[in-house]
Structure 1
């Protein structure tokens, strides 16, 4: 698999690259410093999976995810951030992110998540999932109630 790391901090980007290059199933590891640069790399290279930071200058990871998924829907995006923020996670997932991990994850967790994501899984950090799932279920419940009321009105008419 070909991976693109999108991270504005050089030392973090280099550390991620070293970890990924130790995996024999990863053929190429490309790098970008922000979302705008990531889109340019996507146009130049064949990329299977993007490791995407959220907070970056020029274009943040959420906006870059939205653009990449709209142009290359088959590409998997694993959000990797220091921010355990449920709103970031909800936005990222809304725009098509396939996974959400914290940068505090160790190498094994990261590599397992990369492989799972690539194979169609949806690894989400447990702390983030604990915050996000109740909010998503609440939204689904509101939507179902609204839909149920609409159906009832239609049937009454």
Structure 2
């Protein structure tokens, strides 16, 4: 079982990540950099960071974390265009990028069944 830290200012997104990933992993969440920094302990295997965060953006937080923990696996998440998100992830040294398309996908799929 891996330990994942989710940093996202959106409570619904944090809850969704926890519900989906918590089935197989230990998930800790933080709504901002201050909370995340306190929650980041040895043994965290992966950090998922939303790009669009108030105060410090996800790409800035990634740069800060990688300065002190260069081997930390960090994945950026965002609803932005997927190719742009991947480019941003590469530019800041993140391990990868996961687009937040699940809510868009859910809306599209649900519409299929509505009159």
| TM-score, with length taken from structure 2 | 0.77
| CA–CA separation in structure 2 for the residues paired with 1:45 and 1:6 | 16
Which of structures 1 and 2 has the bigger CA Rg?
1
- Give 1 or 2: higher strand fraction: 2
Aligned residue among 60, 66, 69 for 2:66: 69
How many equivalent pairs are there? Answer: 102
Unpaired runs of 5+ residues, structure 2, are: 104-115
| CA–CA separation in structure 1 for the residues paired with 2:29 and 2:72 | 16
**Cα RMSD between the aligned structures?**
2.0
Unpaired runs of 5+ residues, structure 1, are: 107-157
Aligned residue among 77, 80, 84 for 1:83: 80
| CA–CA separation in structure 1 for the residues paired with 2:34 and 2:82 | 23
The farther-off stretch of 53-62 and 76-85 is: 76-85
Bigger RCO of structures 1 and 2 (CA < 8 A, at least 6 apart): 2
| TM-score, with length taken from structure 1 | 0.58
Structure 1 residue runs of 4 or more that deviate by more than 3 Å after TM superposition: 85-89
